Amino acid sequence: MNLFESLSPHIRRRLAYDDLRKAIDEIVIYAATPAWFSQSHEFVAEVCDILVNSIIEDLDLDDKISPSDKDGLYNYFVNTFGSFLVRYYNETKSPDDKLSEEVVRIKQIMG
């Protein structure tokens, strides 16, 4: 059984790949740009976490989703979009990105 099939049917039938890609595009533009992260895995984790929460909220599933379905959804997104997000991170993040260093320092100070 693949990760998608392991999700509950009421979640699976609401997930369209093209809609998810559009949501990811919006997330990386407005909510989690690569410059904010020092490592690609942190970027992937944040984007997928935002996507999970966005899907749950948009589909009004807050009370209907189990913790295991939420974890399954997160794992599905990492599995499906992780390599794309890592490539995006590597292509758009500059090694001399001063904003990234500043954001990392602020995150460390804030806890």
Separation between Cα atoms, residue 43 and residue 63, nearest integer Å: 28
For every one of its 111 residues, what pLDDT tens digit does the chain have, with 9 covering 90 and above? 455 676 677 677 777 888 889 999 999 888 888 888 889 999 999 999 999 999 888 877 777 788 888 888 899 899 999 999 999 999 887 766 555 555 566 666 665
Q: What is the pLDDT of residue 95?
A: 63
In Å, how far from its chain's centre is CA 15?
Answer: 15
Distances (CA, A) of 37 to 19, 41, 101: 25, 9, 8
